[in-house]
């Protein structure tokens, strides 16, 4: 069995691997730049290759992609499509191809960042009432963030998790000052407070704050840099985003490294694609806490149907592969 064709479509964001069997592998979130990289660099490496040699392909794509100066997302989407294909070949959902840990994952609501305090409070209360395990609040560098998070805590009540995301927008002084308030309101974590590459600042922040500091999705050379951030305790939890950090293979290796160090690797996904790859990884590892669920407004233009989140829990697809369902069947023909 071998790969016979590699088709990427930046308009739909879809990648399709065809084989000499009826089985195909699909991935989402392919940008125009990624599509160009696939056509120029990866396509010749994939044609005629056996999908059973996934690790050899990953090593080769990563090496050649790295030499061409391409980011991890470019080989990441190809890797995701290979896992989809391997799941279909075995008649198993991807999380069970890796080795299943669970088929339901607790979810938090990844809310809309561009809203005012009232809307944020409403969003958090809605998340709480719908059974979500928490709600993300995105902090900008402007305005009185300390007052905002205190008021949000007031609005949703005590036990509900507020997950704070700095969106890499703060400097160390501002992050430290806000972090003290996040400690005070018992926020669940502080994600991307600083630029990911500021590992010195992150280390100082992690040491100073009681709540976990989480970062790392944008570290280039992501696996080695990511584990280094863990061993030096520059972060308390590692953030890995598919496909920004890489494919399923990249993030699985990061998660295994973190597990061996007794730490969590929290897996999420870039909303330009579908959440399926992240969801299956969450089904295969112990050391990740939550699925990041986008709000209902975000699905309008989706080419893939969203995954069911019921009473705050993601239910993993049980069908072979990633379980992608296309909203427009003509995309698949």
Residues binding another protein (CB under 8 A): 50, 52-56, 58-59, 86, 89-90, 92, 96-103, 223-224, 226-228, 231, 249, 252-254, 256-257, 259-262, 284-286
Of residues 79 and 268, the one with the C-beta less far from another protein: 79
In angstroms, give the least distance from the CB of 52 to another protein.
4
How far is residue 119's CA from residue 232's CA, in Å, rounded to a whole number?
Answer: 38
Secondary structure of residue 188 in the 3-state scheme: coil
User: Closest by alpha carbon to 164, among 142, 144, 193, 126?
Assistant: 193
In angstroms, give the least distance from the CB of 17 to another protein.
15
Q: Kindly give, in sequence order, each residue whose CB lies less than 8 Å from that of residue 251, ignoring residues fewer than 6 positions away.
A: 240, 242, 245, 265, 267, 281
Of residues 223 and 307, the one with the C-beta less far from another protein: 223
Of residues 38 and 252, the one with the C-beta less far from another protein: 252
Of residues 50 and 327, the one with the C-beta less far from another protein: 50
**Burial label, 268 (beta-carbon count in 10 A; 0-12, 13-18, 19+):** buried
- Token readout for 169 is 């927008």
In angstroms, give the least distance from the CB of 321 to another protein.
14
In angstroms, give the least distance from the CB of 318 to another protein.
10
Of residues 110 and 253, the one with the C-beta less far from another protein: 253
In angstroms, give the least distance from the CB of 141 to another protein.
33
**Burial label, 123 (beta-carbon count in 10 A; 0-12, 13-18, 19+):** buried
């Amino acid at each position: 069995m071998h790969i016979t064709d590699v088709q990427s479509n930046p308009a739909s964001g879809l990648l399709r691997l065809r084989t000499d069997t009826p089985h195909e592998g699909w991935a989402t979130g392919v940008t125009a730049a990624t599509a160009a990289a696939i056509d120029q660099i990866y396509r010749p490496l994939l044609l005629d290759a056996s999908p059973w040699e996934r690790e050899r392909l990953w090593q080769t794509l990563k090496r050649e992609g790295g030499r061409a100066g391409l980011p991890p997302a470019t080989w990441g989407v190809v890797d995701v499509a290979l896992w989809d294909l391997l799941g279909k070949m075995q008649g198993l959902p991807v999380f069970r191809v890796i080795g299943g840990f669970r088929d339901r994952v607790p979810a938090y609501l990844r809310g809309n960042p561009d809203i005012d305090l009232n809307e944020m409070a409403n969003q958090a209360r809605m998340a709480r009432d719908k059974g979500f395990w928490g709600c993300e609040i995105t902090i900008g560098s402007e305005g009185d963030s300390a007052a905002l998070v205190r008021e949000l805590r007031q609005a949703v009540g005590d036990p509900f998790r507020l997950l704070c995301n700095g969106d890499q927008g703060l400097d160390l002084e501002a992050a430290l000052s806000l972090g003290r308030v996040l400690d005070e309101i018992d926020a669940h974590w502080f994600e991307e407070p600083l630029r990911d590459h500021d590992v010195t600042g992150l280390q100082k922040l992690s040491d100073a704050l009681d709540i976990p500091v989480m970062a790392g999705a944008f570290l280039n050379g992501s696996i080695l840099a990511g584990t280094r951030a863990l061993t030096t305790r520059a972060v308390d939890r590692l953030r890995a985003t598919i496909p920004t950090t890489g494919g399923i293979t990249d993030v699985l290796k990061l998660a295994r490294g973190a597990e061996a160090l007794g730490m969590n690797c929290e897996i999420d996904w870039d909303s330009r694609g579908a959440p399926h790859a992240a969801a299956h990884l969450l089904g295969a590892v112990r050391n990740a806490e939550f699925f990041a669920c986008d709000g209902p407004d975000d699905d309008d233009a989706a080419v893939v149907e969203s995954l069911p989140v019921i009473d705050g829990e993601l239910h993993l697809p049980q069908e072979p592969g990633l379980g992608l369902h296309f909203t427009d069947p003509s995309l698949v023909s």
